[in-house]
Amino acid sequence: MKEAALEVQGIGVHFGGVAALEDVSFAANAGEVLGIMGPNGAGKTTLFNVISGIQVPTNGEVVFAGTRLRGRSIARIAALGITRTFQTPVMFWGLTVRESVAVALEAREQPGTYPPSFLRCLLPSGIGWPSRRAFDLAVLARADALIAASPLASLADRPTESLSFGEERLLEMARALALEPRALLLDEPLSGLNSGEVAQVLNEVRTARERGVAVLLVEHAVEELLAVADRIVVLDHGKKIAEGTCKQVVANPLVVDAYLGDEVA
Amino acid sequence: MIAEIWQYLLAGIAVGAIYALIAAGFVLVYQVTGLINFAQGEFAMLGAMTAASLAGAGLPALWAAALAVLVASLVGALGYLLAIRPARKANPVILIFITLGLSVAIRGAALFVWGTNSLSLNAFSSGTSVVVFGGVLSPQTPWVIGADVLVFGALYVFLRHTPLGTAVRAAVANPPIARTFGIPLATIGFWSFVAAAAIGGLGGVVVAPITSASYDMGLTLGLAGFVAAVLGGLDSLPGALAGGFLLGIFEKVSGGLISTGWEQGVGFIILIAVLVLRPQGLLGHTVRRA
């Protein structure tokens, strides 16, 4: 039995009288890809919002590596090693692809140390005293290596506002991986990608799993999800209706009825 | 006639260079914190008054100038920590009123320290006026333009070529996501306010030999800087530069061709026209935010 990295315990989210999530519990292990499946409006994104601290749950608790997340700010939750992507990619407009990845690496390398290193950070990259220069060059080299290993290789110097939707998605993924998360929440990372890019992202997901990351993957592309997920949780109308291996879930009549239909069967 | 217009243009460039410095402070704070800081003009007043009184006490001009910028920065830091930071989550309208209050407080303190008398500061370089194609610039104007080059050049290098500058641009582009990256928005907001105060202080130092310094000069400078920032685009530093020079030129040309009474009014006509026709300013962006 692997260690449970992320435990979702009885989460409920109510907006007025409407329950977006109701008593949802599951655990995601380190080094595991947990697929989250369900029709639109099932509560998948709300669940990610709760885990990443954007939405405070009405009831329940999320525990990450033994730490309770309730009451913690988005920044503190991120600092614990939980990183997410969004259904619509979120970019830093005005930065280039390389800068977007470098800023994540920089934040990762010196978390919360901007005030003490403030004066050092004022020096332009590549000049300054040797330790600073070495650090900056190492960050840029790592940014370049990450970009080179992704389908963004030819786009390093492009400003983010010139990217296509698919390219934005790939950049968001590269940026998330640069933060070296312990839990990675991916919200429909394959939508808008061509088949080559899909294969690349799935490879990145597998690599993250091998590095011991707990990956939560919301995805409507069922075949791809089943190909990469170790286990699946299925939500419908805010409730968990199934949890198990891919085989168990696709054979579950409740899941077939609520979501899959004839798609997989 | 052409010679006259050329002279008005030169006079406009000289005034515009000052407005651009004040506008840079408005834009810097607005970009990073979303706050319109109506105390910006008072930092210029502090720079001018401090430099004039220190130079009057016999301190070398360079030292007086450096200490004046330092005083403006320190007052900026204190103003942020005492007045703005405690209310940083308040409604933007409340924050604007707080900056207006800060402006009144700084002006009141200056009145208490220096009284109502104007102080003068010698031009940084002695000599006669600078002649440009037959038009005349005061010997202080090259110093004001030099301050523009220094400030806008330093901001460009900082924002484009330093790791912290990249982090600041990320924070400007998308604050909530930048926070999840560990970029400390509160710290960056504080330093942007201090930097804007320093830029304002420098503006006051270089303008003092032209206008002399008085406790109430910040209001006029601040309003002109605000109009210049809105004209160029509140979220654009190049816009602040362009807006400053354009406003100065509009003022002096209309003042010269129509009547000097128009000089003060033209800025507000421009402000209204920009807000109606192009609210994002000449070079401002319609920022895409997720």
Residue B280, classified by CB atoms within 10 Å of its CB into exposed (0-12), middle (13-18) or buried (19+), is: middle
* Average model confidence (pLDDT) across chain B: 90
Residue A33, classified by CB atoms within 10 Å of its CB into exposed (0-12), middle (13-18) or buried (19+), is: buried
Please give the residue of chain A at the shortest CA–CA distance from B178: A92
Using pLDDT thresholds of 50, 70 and 90, give the confidence band for residue A133. Answer: low
**Given a cut of 60, is residue B290 above it in pLDDT?**
no
Pairing of strands A239-245, A82-84: unpaired
Joined together, the tokens standing for residue B119 give 């102080």
Residues 6+ apart with CB under 8 A from B141: B13, B14, B17, B130, B210
Given 3-state DSSP classes, what are the helix, strand and coil percentages for chain B, each rounded to the nearest 5? Answer: 75, 5, 20
Pairing of strands A231-236, A214-218: unpaired
Question: What pLDDT does residue A256 have?
Answer: 83
A53 phi and psi angles, rounded to 5 deg: 90, 0
Question: What pLDDT does residue A265 have?
Answer: 46
Cβ neighbours around A7 below 10 Å, total: 16
Residue B6, classified by CB atoms within 10 Å of its CB into exposed (0-12), middle (13-18) or buried (19+), is: middle
Task: Please identify among residues 99-158 of chain B the ones whose CB lies closer than 8 Å to any CB of chain A.
Answer: 157-158
* Token pair 């306010």 in the structure block, residue: B193
Encoded amino acid at B178, one letter = A
Q: Compute the distance between CA of residue B268 and CA of residue B151 in angstroms, rounded to an integer.
A: 26
Question: What pLDDT does residue B237 have?
Answer: 93
CA distance B85 to chain A (A): 17
Identify all chain B residues contacting A133, using CB atoms and an 8 Å cutoff. none
Minimum mean pLDDT among A2-16, A148-162, A249-263, B134-148: which range?
A249-263
Q: Which domains does chain B have, with CATH numbers?
A: 2-277 (1.10.3470)
How many angstroms separate the Cα of B157 from the Cα of each of A141, A168, B195?
Answer: 21, 27, 14
A22 phi and psi angles, rounded to 5 deg: -140, 115
Using pLDDT thresholds of 50, 70 and 90, give the confidence band for residue B284. Answer: confident
Pairing of strands B130-132, B135-137: antiparallel
Question: What pLDDT does residue B229 have?
Answer: 95
Q: Compute the distance between CA of residue B114 and CA of residue A181 in angstroms, rounded to an integer.
A: 57
Question: What pLDDT does residue B18 have?
Answer: 95
pTM: 0.82
Highest mean pLDDT among A246-255, B115-124, B239-248: B239-248
| Residue A103: strand, helix, or coil | helix
- Contact in structure between A34 and A6 (CB atoms under 8 Å): no
- Contact in structure between A35 and A56 (CB atoms under 8 Å): no
Question: What pLDDT does residue A113 have?
Answer: 45
Closest in A75, A91, A94 to B180, CB measured: A75
**Given a cut of 50, is residue B281 above it in pLDDT?**
yes
CB contact under 8 A, B164 and A100: no
Using pLDDT thresholds of 50, 70 and 90, give the confidence band for residue A121. Answer: low
**Given a cut of 70, is residue B165 above it in pLDDT?**
yes
Q: Is the dihedral of CA B150, B160, A119, B198 positive or negative?
A: positive
Using pLDDT thresholds of 50, 70 and 90, give the confidence band for residue B127. Answer: confident
Using pLDDT thresholds of 50, 70 and 90, give the confidence band for residue B287. Answer: very low
Closest in B170, B188, B290 to A103, CB measured: B170
Residues 6+ apart with CB under 8 A from B42: B102, B103, B106, B107, B110, B200, B218, B222
CB contact under 8 A, A95 and B191: no
Strands (E), chain A: 4-15, 18-29, 32-37, 59-64, 67-68, 82-84, 183-187, 214-218, 231-236, 239-245
For chain B, say whether A75 makes contact (Cβ under 8 Å).
Answer: yes
CA distance A75 to chain B (A): 5
According to the CATH classification, is domain A20-91+163-265 in 3.40.50.300?
yes
Q: What is the pLDDT of residues B32-77, one digit of tens each?
A: 888 999 999 999 999 999 999 999 999 998 999 999 999 999 999 9
Closest in B163, B169, B187 to A94, CB measured: B169
Identify all chain B residues contacting A90, using CB atoms and an 8 Å cutoff. 174, 177, 290
CA distance B36 to chain A (A): 22
Question: What pLDDT does residue A127 have?
Answer: 56
Identify all chain A residues contacting B170, using CB atoms and an 8 Å cutoff. 92, 95, 99-100, 103
Minimum mean pLDDT among A9-18, A206-215, B276-285: which range?
B276-285
User: How many CB contacts within 8 angstroms connect chain A with chain B?
Assistant: 93
- Contact in structure between B81 and B52 (CB atoms under 8 Å): no
Question: What pLDDT does residue B181 have?
Answer: 80
What's the maximum distance between 2 C-alpha atoms anywhere in chain A?
A: 65
Using pLDDT thresholds of 50, 70 and 90, give the confidence band for residue B103. Answer: very high
Q: State percent of chain A over pLDDT 90.
A: 44
**Domain definitions of chain A by residue range:** 20-91+163-265, 92-162
Joined together, the tokens standing for residue A198 give 């899909």
Using pLDDT thresholds of 50, 70 and 90, give the confidence band for residue B123. Answer: confident
The residues that bridge with A235 in the sheet, in sequence order, are A240
**Given a cut of 60, is residue A114 above it in pLDDT?**
no
Task: Please identify among residues 156-185 of chain B the ones whose CB lies closer than 8 Å to any CB of chain A.
Answer: 157-158, 161-164, 166-167, 169-170, 172-174, 176-184
Average pLDDT on A146-170 reads 88
Using pLDDT thresholds of 50, 70 and 90, give the confidence band for residue A3. Answer: low
Interface test with A, best of B32, B180, B283 (most A CBs within 10 A): B180
Structure-model confidence comparison of residues B91 and A109, the more confident one: B91
Q: What is the pLDDT of residues A85-100, one digit of tens each?
A: 998 898 998 899 999 9
